[in-house]
Amino acid sequence: MPLDDLVGLAQEALVLSVSVSLPVVAALAAMSFVTSLLQAATQLSDSTLSHLPRLLVGAVVLAAAAPWMGAQIVAFASRAFAIAT
């Protein structure tokens, strides 16, 4: 396999990993921001209150985005194996 193909696959893999993880990370960051605003407004400093909403949002976003994530990863893997053969 030529070096140019390997570099292209590596770049594509890095971009894919960022694009696949971005919906989950963005949703969790937004939920953390909302939770921190609510805790600041109500002056509750209990750290356990922020974990449950983030866990629920993370699970919902993962369940909703899993088919898209899987399709992207499978498409990349099939392209990578097609180049390798």
Higher pLDDT, 50 or 66: 66
Amino acid at 63: A
Confidence of residue 45 (pLDDT cuts 50, 70, 90): confident
pLDDT in the model for residue 25: 96
Q: Hey, what's the torsion of the CAs at 39, 45, 46, 48, to 10 degrees?
A: 50
Task: Please say whether the beta carbons of 16 and 78 come within 8 A.
Answer: no
- For 41, other C-beta atoms within 10 Å of its C-beta total 8
Where does the pLDDT of residue 47 fall: very low under 50, low under 70, confident under 90, or very high at 90 and above?
confident
Specify whether the CB–CB gap between 78 and 12 falls below 8 A: no
Q: Where are the domains of the chain?
A: 3-84
pLDDT at position 63 over 80:
yes
| Tens-place pLDDT, residues 3-36 | 888 898 999 999 999 999 999 999 999 999 999 8
